[in-house]
Amino acid sequence: MDRILMAVREARRLGPMEDALKGRITNQEGAERAGLSLRQFRRLKERVRRMGPAGLLHGNRGRSSGRRVAAEIRERIVFWLRRPEVRVNDCHIAEKLWEVEGLRASRETVRRVRRALEIAPKRRRRARQHRRRREREARCGAMMLVDGSPFSWLKDGGEVFDLVGAMDDATGKILSLTFRPHEDLHGYGLVLRETFSTQGLPERVYGDRTSVFERNDPHWTIEEQLQGRQHPTHLRQALEELGITYIAALSPQAKGRIERLWQTLQDRLVVELRLRAIPTQEQAGAFLPEFIADFNRRFAVPARETRSAWRRAPRELDLILSCRYPRTVANDNTVRLEERLVHVPPGPGRRSYAQCRIELRELLDGRLVVLHHGQRIAEQRPPSDFTTLKPRCRRLGRLAQKSDAHRAPRINDRPRPRSETQATTAAKPKPTRPQRPGTDHPWRRFRHSNPPPATVR
């Protein structure tokens, strides 16, 4: 007789069954001892009489489940789990199986297959920590979150560069993303311009205390001390002109919603870039619009209120999102910004702008615009080698603190030829203490030749 493998529960039922078959106990007593109903006990007793102890085994013993994962799906799951060029998490594998290969598999199915293969998860799960949740804004455009994330986006151990982006707090939608060599003014300017031109102006912008939005230096000019605040940065001035409030977070946890977005992008975006074998930063930037559309379709949530808070952006948006420098027009009607020189044409009636106070603005595309009382009076196209908009030193107070050794030489600073007598005199060491006049000094002769008059008592 073949050996029968029984579970503990089935083995416990065999004794009462054999006693009932031999007439030692009644069916009611056997049902109570086996923990079965009288009807079920009679059914199993009849099966044991015909089949022996094997009658206690379930009829599906040894059969595969009707809901078992198909061998084809299991093979594809194993392929994605052991993919050599990139690690993919369980949820992402389930999505890629349906999108790429048309196979249905749940995240839990992928997880069971992975655990059966003894493959560790891509990200280790940590215990949840207690925190106080900040509710999302009720309307779209009420608050926009901005930040940057440095990461090796193209390959493990490769070049690290920044992804600068913005998201809507009410819906969790990604508004704009751009790759930059580092987190700089130009990257934030591109993100703000794309968001403002496509969505509109938000009520508030929530970011960190980066120097792009916040002044972190301790230098105060006399003018800043009199007005009680430091001059804002270039982008902060642009936000104030657009009527947008900027909120500076004091910790990464304060803006945790966009921090969690970076964790998701460092997982999903990296996988998508490597599956497409995108090698360069420019090609990765071209793929971002497609990824943003797919991400928002999957993860965006509806706002609590249907009324939107976005406002229409002004026409001169490019002029507002620029670097601003106060200047004085030279006598030859030119304005200089470091190595670039802008010629100011004559005004109405051939009027000259010499010695007039103007504002010089450098735009994101590299153009220079000269404004006089808010009116555009001159413009210069960007140079051929322009790549990045960067802030330049504009505070004269900080320039005055620099030593003469770091100051550029002027015409009057050139060394002049001196005579031999001047050179010899200059070479003599200066006395360490003042010299007393000699006895033949005019002061001493005057003192002895004109004695003070006698005092009459």
Q: Would you tell me the crossing angle of helices 185-198 and 234-241 to the nearest 10 degrees?
A: 20
Residue 58 to residues 15, 27, 48, 53, 63, Cα–Cα distance (Å): 17, 21, 12, 11, 10
**Kind and range of the H or E run holding 60:** none
pLDDT reading at 235 higher than 90? yes
Reported as a single tens digit per residue, the pLDDT across 106-142 is 889 999 999 988 888 887 777 766 667 788 999 999 9
Higher pLDDT, 10 or 376: 376
Q: Which residue has the tokens 């200059």?
A: 426
Look up the pTM and report it.
Answer: 0.65
Rounded Cα distance, 362 and 367, in Å:
6
Higher pLDDT, 23 or 126: 23
Count Cβ neighbours within 10 Å for each residue of 122-135 and write b for 16 or more, e otherwise.
beeeeeeeeeeeee
Reported as a single tens digit per residue, the pLDDT across 168-223 is 999 999 999 999 999 999 999 999 999 999 999 999 999 999 999 998 888 888 98
Rounded Cα distance, 216 and 220, in Å:
11
Helix then strand then coil, % of the chain, to nearest 5: 40, 15, 45
pLDDT reading at 403 higher than 50? no
pLDDT reading at 420 higher than 70? no
The mean pLDDT of the chain is 84
For residue 397, the model assigns a pLDDT of: 37
Higher pLDDT, 174 or 96: 174
Reported as a single tens digit per residue, the pLDDT across 295-340 is 999 999 999 999 999 999 999 999 999 999 999 999 999 999 988 9
Lowest-confidence segment of 151-160, 162-171, 405-414 by average pLDDT: 405-414
For residue 190, the model assigns a pLDDT of: 96
For residue 410, the model assigns a pLDDT of: 41
In the chain, pLDDT over 70 holds for what percent of residues?
83
Cβ atoms of 130 and 220 within 8 Å: the answer is: no
